[in-house]
Amino acid sequence: MSAEGRCKEEKEEGEDRKPVIKPGVHVTLKVQDTDGHSVYRTMRRTDKLQGLMDFYYASVPAIARGTGRFLYDGGRLSGEETPAQLEMDDGDEVDFFTELMGGGGWIAGQRVKEEADDGFITIKVQDTDRFKVSYTMRKTDKLQNLIDFYYARVPSVTRGSGRFLVDGTRMQGWKTPADFNMEDGDEVDVFTDLIGGGGGPTTECCC
């Protein structure tokens, strides 16, 4: 075989050998909260995630320590866990939401799973324009918090102009998810009243 042929064969063999990329010792994680704050932290894969949580609270002094939840891939983070245990990759995002006024939080496009004994559920709201929001609250919180959250997220809808239905039943703001036997992942439908009034004054908005 000519020298040119051997070089070509060696080159082709080299192209077939793909390098094995091993996870690095460090990983950079992003914490994103509902107020738009983004915090980045580089840490060892074997470090406890409590360090990431403490760093977030130190970076966002407006949030009181211990008043929020950190979620990754739909599950609540524990400070004792490590990135290696959760198989976290460089650049992965952790969602944070506070528990103010009933523990409301918005996690767009995330699957939220809470412990059964936690008392929190995530309710999905969808209107006729197919706009969706999710809100996490206690089963004993007033549903007015959910209604207010929807109007805040959808400013194009006039406050008080919508009808919120749970399994076809009109939802009142002074009631709670427990009153409707709501479970985690349940969906509320919103129908906005057309110009001209449609159905009289709404009862779900208390403001």
pLDDT in tens, 135-154: 888 888 899 989 988 888 88
Residue 115: the pLDDT is 39
Q: How do residues 177-199 score in pLDDT, each as one tens digit?
A: 999 999 888 999 999 865 444 33
Predicted pLDDT of residue 35: 78
Q: Strand 187-192 to strand 93-98: parallel, antiparallel, or no bridges (unpaired)?
A: unpaired
Does 88 or 62 have the greater pLDDT score? 88
Mean pLDDT of the chain: 76
E strand or H helix at 190: strand 187-192
- Spell out the domains of the chain, with CATH numbers in brackets: 26-98 (3.10.20.90), 116-192 (3.10.20.90)
- Antiparallel, parallel or unpaired: β 75-76 and 162-166: unpaired
- What is residue 103's predicted lDDT score, i.e. its pLDDT? 35
Inter-residue contact 134 to 106 (CB < 8 Å) = yes
